[in-house]
Amino acid sequence: MRGHLPQTRTGARAFHLPLVFLLPAPFIVGAMNNTTSLPISAADVTPPAPLGPALLALNNAHARELSWLVPTRLEHLVGQSFFARRVGQHLAQIDAFLLAFDQDADYDSPNFLWFRERYQRFVYVDRIAVASAARGRGLARLLYRELFAEAVRAQHSSVVCEVNSEPPNPASDAFHAALGFSEVGRATIHNGSKTVRYLRCCV
């Protein structure tokens, strides 16, 4: 069930893949076929559940790209999510996770709000993280593939996100282009410190 999100100064940012996420062709289909993801619920991340600290550790290892999270913020994000799934069989060790929201989420990210001002319905990728030891297994693609399928089941036609254009992020640009995303807008945010490209994929 969705609850009210505490307001933050900047809001979370959608994921920006570092260079190691750019996978060579052909994609690692075999690895993806042998990997399954698991759902994340609000109860899973509410103390003393062990999944919360593992997700926080992975997220905060990439806080520069994703924004820092504290336990209460994570609980609210998961509670708001349209899609929240993880890869990793052990609760204390997460290989990857993805959180996404639909247009009805109570969320204060300027990037999310940019899309809500322009689209009636959409699924917004807020954050994805892959542990350094799990890179090269196609986990980001696996999670996106599952997100697209869930969006279609919910009769959504648009999956959206943003990537940095200043500072540039060519790996993320290439990753999203390969998945079928195209640019639908740009904005300068955070008092001019960052410029982002807004992307949309029709599913």
Rg (CA), the chain: 16
Is it true that domain 24-152 has CATH number 3.40.630.30? Answer: yes
Within the chain, how many helices (H) and strands (E) appear?
A: 7, 7
Identity of residue 84: A
Q: What is the dihedral of CA 70, 78, 59, 170, to 10 degrees?
A: -130
Cis peptide bond N-terminal to 26, omega within 30: yes
CB 24 within 8 A of CB 65: no
Other Cβ atoms within 10 Å of 169 Cβ, number: 21
| Rounded (to 5) percent helix, strand, coil in the chain | 35, 25, 40
Give the integer Cα–Cα distance in Å for 123 and 83.
9
pLDDT of residue 25: 37
pLDDT of residue 42: 94
Main-chain dihedrals φ then ψ at residue 199, nearest 5 degrees: -120, 150
Tokens at residue 54, please? 């593992």
pLDDT of residue 100: 98
Please report, for the chain, the start and end positions of each structural domain, with discontinuous segments joined by +.
Answer: 24-152
pLDDT per residue, tens digit, the chain (203 aa), is 454 444 333 443 334 343 233 333 333 344 445 688 999 999 999 999 999 999 999 999 988 788 899 999 999 999 999 999 999 977 778 999 999 999 999 999 999 999 999 999 999 999 999 999 999 999 999 999 999 999 999 999 999 999 988 878 888 899 999 999 999 999 998 887 788 999 999 99
102 - beta bridge partners?
Answer: 123
Give the integer Cα–Cα distance in Å for 98 and 100.
7
pLDDT of residue 45: 95
CB 124 within 8 A of CB 74: no
CB 44 within 8 A of CB 52: yes
Its pTM stands at 0.83
Cis peptide bond N-terminal to 53, omega within 30: no
pLDDT of residue 106: 95
pLDDT of residue 194: 82
How many Cα atoms sit within 13 Å of 193 on the Cβ side?
Answer: 3
